[in-house]
A and B are shown apart, each in its own frame.
Chain A
Amino acid sequence: MPLQFRRSRCTGCKLCQLACSATHEQVFNPDKSRIKIDHVYREDGIHIGSKHCTFCKECEAVCPEGAISNNEKWMLVDWDKCVGCGTCVEKCPTKIIYLNPDNKSVICDLCGGSPRCVEWCPKDAVSLFKKKMEAAR
C-alpha cells in the first residue's frame, strides 16, 4: 500500500516534507523527510523529481541484521537491531532511506496508516495507492 505521487498535480510547495519532518522529528526540516519532491527549472523547462517509499521491500531483503520487516502495508525498522551499517541506504532503489543522527535507518511507515503528507498535500498530488486487485480480494 505505497504512496502514489501524481506529478501533474504537484506544485513543489514541500508541505508534504514539512508535515513528515514535523510528525516524525518534531522539527521543520525538508531534508529530514521520508518523502522528497524537487522542482527545478532546467534549460528545457521544469523537472519534477520525486522520491518516496514504493514498498519494494529491497531494504528488508538486504538488511544484514534482520532489522527491517513489513506488516504488508508499510515497512518496519527495529532500531534495537539496526546497527547503522547503511546497507539499506545504499541499496534503496529510490534513494529515500537515510540514517538519522543516532545512526538509525529512517524509512517511511505511512504514519501508521494515515500519512500526514497525504493529509497536508493541498493539491492531492500525494495519495495512498490502493491496488484494485487487493481491494477486490
Chain B
Amino acid sequence: MNSFWGKMLYVDLTRQHIETRAIPNEWVELYAGQKGLGTRILMEDFSATTDPLSPENRLVLSTAIMAGTIVSSSSKLAIVSKSPQTGTISDGSVGGHIGAELKYAGYDAVLITGKADTLSYLYVDPEKAEIRPITELQGVGAFQSEDRLKQVIGDEQVKILTIGPAGENLVPFSCICSEKYRQLGRGGIGAVMGSKNLKAVCVRGWLDVAVPDIEECMQAVADIHKKDEVTSPNNEIYTDGTPVLVDFSQYSGLLPTRNFQEGQFEGYEKINSPAFKEIRRNKKACFSCAIACGNYVKTETAAVEGPEYETIALGGSCIGNADRDKLVEFNALCDDLGLDTISAGGILAYMMEMTEKGLHDFDIRFGETDKALTLLEDIAHRRGPGKEAASGAKGLSEKYGGVDFAMQVKGMELPAYDPRGSWAMGLSYVTAPRGGCHMSAFPIEAEAWGDLDPFTFEGKAQLVMELQNAQFAKFSIGVCDFWPIDSHTLARLFELTYGGKWTAAQMDRIGERIFNLQRMFNVMAGFSRREDKLPARLHKEFLKTGPPKGISMPQAAFEKALAEYYALRGWDTRGRPTVEKLEELDIEEMFIEDYKKELNHAG
C-alpha cells in the first residue's frame, strides 16, 4: 500500500496483449512522476525517429506520485508521445479526475503501443484491463462518446479519455477530451490515439492510496495550502479563472489580435472575465483541487467548461471575433470535435489574413465567425476546404505563402501572448520541447506583468532557463500550473507523499534533467538550432499600440540571447546538450551512449 505502486500497464493493441510491468524506484528518484516519469517510460527502447502516426509510436499515460492524495491540484494526468504536429517529443496534461482514478486502479502509468484492427477502447480497473471494440462510436463527437461509454460500461463514475472525429481522422492538432470539457489540448496527441484505432481509455479505481505518515501529511499539507493561499476565496483563479488574463494582455499590448497584426483588441471588453461571469452557472474543480479554476458557462445554444484565456484570445481577438456566445460555441465545438482551440484559432487567423491580403482566397475573413465554425467541422472531418486547412499554418504557408505570418514554432501554432510585448516569451517559445507553447516557462509574469523590463533580452536567457527547470520539476512532482509553488514546498510535498528527504536543489535538478532529456529526444529526432526560430513577423513588424508600440524585437538581439541561452544550458552552438552536461545531470548511461552515436552521425 503506497502512493507509488511501481506498476504500469503495458498494452499492445496489435497483439491484443496486456501485461503489468514494474517501474523501478530509481526512475522516480531521477524523474519523479507525471511529465518526467512519462518521458522516461516513452524513451525506454524507443527510437526518436519513429513515425508519430505509426503503430510503433507510444502513448504514455503517467500520474503524479501524489495523485489521489489530499495535496491540492496534484491529480492531473500527463500523456507523453511523439507529436504528429511537430515531430518533437510532446507531453501535455489533462485535469479532471482521471489521474487520481488511475492511481486508485493500482497503476502509476500506462504504456500503449500498436494498432487495433477495429475501433476500440481500453478499460482498466483494479481487477481487469481489457481492450474492447466500440465501432459504433466511429465519427461520434467526444461528448456523446463519453456518455455512451458510461452506458456501455454501466458505471457513471468511470473516468474517460476520448477523442472526437478529428483524432480519428488524424488531424495533427487533435486533442484528447476528458469529462467533456477538460482537454489535453496541444501537440496532436489525439491523432496518435486515432492512428491506433483507440477511441477511448476508461478507468475506474477503488484501491487505497497511502502515504508514509498520514497524520503528519494531513497537518503539513493543510499548512502548506494555507501558506500558498490555494484555499483563499480571493484567489483570482477561483474568482475569475483564466479569463482574468484578457484585461492583463490587453493593457500590456500583447493580446494577439487579427493574427498577431495587433496586440490590442477593440472588442476585448465583450470577451473578458466580467462578460463570461454573466453566463457562469458553476465553478468546477479537478480532483483534490482547492482552487477550482473551472467555469461552467451556458448560453442559449451551447455550454462548456471554459472558455479559458487561450481559447478566448485565439477564437476571439485573433480571428476578429468579439461575440462572447460565439466564443462559447467555438470552444464547445472544438472540444466535441476534438480540436486544439489554440491551433484551430491560429490556423483560421492565418487563412483570414491570407484572404484579406489577396494572397490566396480561403474564402474567410476576420470576424466571419460562423464561417469559421463550419470550417472547424470540415477540418475535423477532413472534407472540402477543411482537408487542406488540417495541414496547419505551417503546412498551408509552405504551399500558399505568407510564411512570415504563419504564427507557429516547429509547426505548433502560437498561444495567446505576443512576445513583442514580453520578449523572454519569445525565447520560451523557441526552446519549449514541444514547439510554440506557453507551458515550459511563463516569463511574462516577471516581465510585462512584473518588474522586469519586457523589451530587453538582458538577463532573460538565465530567467527562461530557471523558469523552465522549475516548471519541469513542478509538472513532474505533479502540481498544476495554477498553484505558484516554490521548490522548497515542492520538495516537502514529495517527502510527505513519496517519503525520504528531498531538497529544493534536488527539485531543480530533476527539472533540468527532464528538460535536457526531452531536448535530447528532439536532437535525436533531427532537430537543432535551425528550428528554434520565431515567425519573421515578430522581428520585422512593430506593434502599433500599447506599451510595445513602435519597439522592434530585432532578430540579431534574439539570436544573441538564444546563443547565450544555449551556453548557459551547457549546450553546443547548435543547441545540442553536451555529453559533459548530461553526465553532470546523471542522465542514465544508456541514453548517453545512444546520444553519442547520434552526435557522431549528425557530425
| A120–B223 CA distance with the chains assembled, in angstroms | 11
A23 to B283, CA, bound (A): 27
Q: Report whether B68 and A28 are in contact in the complex, using a CB–CB cutoff of 8 Å.
A: yes
- Contact across chains for B284 and A46 when beta carbons are under 8 A apart: yes
> Do the beta carbons of A28 and B285 come within 8 Å of each other?
no
Docked complex Cα distance between A43 and B206 (Å): 26
Residue B290, interface by CB 8 Å:
yes
Assembly CA distance A29 to B290 (angstroms)? 17
B368 in the interface, Cβ–Cβ < 8 Å? no
Residues of B within 8 A of A15 (CB): 70, 72, 288, 290
Quote the shortest CB–CB distance from A102 to chain B (angstroms): 15
B1 interface hit (Cβ, 8 Å): yes
Binds A, one of B49-57, B258-266, B291-299, B409-417: B291-299
Known A18-B70, A19-B70, A41-B181; judge A26-B284 contact (CB<8 A).
no
Q: A57 CA to B285 CA in the complex, in Å?
A: 33
Chain B residues bordering chain A, tally (CB within 8 A): 44
Contacting residues, chain A, for B222 (C-beta < 8 A): 120
Q: Which of A13, A19, A29, A120 contacts B287 (CB 8 A)?
A: A13
Q: Which of B132-140, B207-215, B448-456, B544-552 contacts A (4 or more CB under 8 A)?
A: B207-215
Give the shortest distance, in Å, between A115 (CB) and chain B (any CB).
14
B508: CB under 8 A from chain A? Answer: no
Contacts of A13 in B (CB 8 A): 285-290, 292
Residue A130 CB within 8 A of the other chain:
no
CB distance from B239 to the nearest CB of A (A): 12
Whether, in the assembled complex, A52 has its beta carbon less than 8 Å from a beta carbon of chain B, the answer is no
B147 within 8 A of A: yes
**Complex CA distance for A29 and B68, rounded to whole angstroms:** 8
B294 touches A11 (CB 8 A): yes
> In the complex the two chains form, what is the Cα distance from A29 to B1 in whole Å?
12
Residue A12 CB within 8 A of the other chain: yes
Cβ of B356 under 8 Å from chain A: no
When distances are taken between beta carbons in the complex, the residues of chain A under 8 Å from B303 are 45
Q: Report the separation of the CA atoms of residues A31 and B155 in the bound assembly, to the nearest whole angstrom.
A: 14
| A15-B70, A19-B218, A39-B284 given; A32·B208 CB < 8 A | yes
A123 within 8 A of B: yes
Question: Any chain B CB within 8 A of the CB of A25?
Answer: yes
Secondary structure dominating the interface of B: loop
Asked if A112 CB lies within 8 Å of chain B CBs, one says no
Residue pair A14, B218 in contact (C-beta under 8 Å): no
B156 and A46: CB pair below 8 A? no
Tell me which residues across on chain A come within 8 A of B305, comparing CB atoms: 41
Query: B146 — nearest CB in chain A belongs to which residue?
Result: A41
Whether a CB of chain A sits under 8 angstroms from the CB of B104 is: yes
Chain B residues 24-39 with CB under 8 Å of chain A are none
- Interface positions, chain B 237-288, Cβ under 8 Å from A, are 281-288
For A12, the chain B residues whose CB sits under 8 A away are 284-285
Q: Nearest-CB distance from A17 to chain B (Å)?
A: 10
- Contact A27 B288, beta carbon cutoff 8 Å: no
What band does the interface of chain A fall in when counting residues whose beta carbon is under 8 Å from B? Answer: 20 to 34
C-beta contact mask, A15-54 vs B, less than 8 Å → 1, else 0? 1001100110111111110000011111101100000000
> Is B70 in contact with A28, judged by CB distance below 8 angstroms?
yes
Contact with B along A60-87 (1 / 0, CB 8 A): 0000000000000000000000000000
Contact of A43 among B147, B231, B281, B286 (CB under 8 A): B147
Query: B69 near A: Cβ within 8 Å?
Result: yes
- Asked if B157 is at the interface (CB within 8 A of a chain A CB), the reply is yes
Q: Are B147 and A46 in contact (CB under 8 A)?
A: no
Pair A27/B218 contact, Cβ less than 8 Å = no
User: A28 near B156 (CB under 8 angstroms)?
Assistant: no
If A32-B208, A120-B70 touch, whether A14 touches B287 (CB-CB below 8 Å) is: yes
Nearest CB of chain B from residue A91's CB, rounded to whole Å: 23
> Does B180 lie at the interface of the complex (its beta carbon under 8 Å from any beta carbon of A)?
yes
With A and B bound together, what is the CA distance between A104 and B209 in angstroms?
21
In the complex, what's the smallest C-beta–C-beta distance from B172 to chain A, in angstroms?
28
Nearest-CB residue, chain B, relative to A29: B208
Residues of B within 8 A of A93 (CB): none
* Chain B residue nearest in CB terms to A39: B284
Q: Which residue of B lies closest to A32 (CB)?
A: B208
Known: A19-B218, A27-B214. A38 touches B208 (CB 8 A): no
Given the complex of chains A and B, what is the CA–CA distance between A18 and B217 in angstroms? Answer: 12
Closest chain B residue to A18, Cβ basis = B70
Report the separation of the CA atoms of residues A44 and B160 in the bound assembly, to the nearest whole angstrom. Answer: 19
A29 to B489, CA, bound (A): 24
A122 lies within 8 A of B206 (CB): no
Cα–Cα, bound, A107→B482 (Å): 36
Please name the residue on chain A nearest to B291 by beta carbon: A122
Pairwise interchain contact A38-B157, C-beta atoms closer than 8 A:
yes
Flag whether B353 is at the interface (Cβ < 8 A): no
CB contacts (< 8 Å) of A18 on chain B: these are: 69-70, 288
| Least CB distance, A108 to chain B, in whole angstroms | 18
Chain B residues near A39 (CB, 8 Å)? 284
- Alpha-carbon separation in the docked complex, A84 to B282 (Å): 40
Q: Counting CB contacts under 8 A, is B179 at the interface? A: yes
Cα–Cα distance between A39 and B425 once the two chains are bound (Å): 37
By a CB distance below 8 angstroms, the chain A residues around B104 are: 29-31
Most buried by B among A40, A41, A123: A41
Extra 5 A-B pairs, beta carbons < 8 Å, given A11-B283, A28-B70, A46-B281: A14-B288, A26-B210, A28-B208, A31-B206, A45-B281
A to B CB contacts below 8 Å, 29 in the list = A11-B282, A12-B284, A12-B285, A13-B286, A13-B288, A13-B289, A14-B287, A18-B69, A18-B288, A25-B208, A26-B210, A27-B208, A27-B209, A27-B210, A27-B214, A28-B69, A28-B209, A28-B210, A29-B104, A29-B209, A30-B104, A32-B208, A39-B284, A41-B179, A41-B180, A46-B281, A120-B222, A122-B231, A122-B290
Q: Which residues of B contact A (CB under 8 A)?
A: 1, 68-70, 72, 97, 104, 147, 156-157, 179-181, 206-211, 214, 217-218, 222, 225, 230-231, 233, 281-292, 294, 296, 298, 303, 305
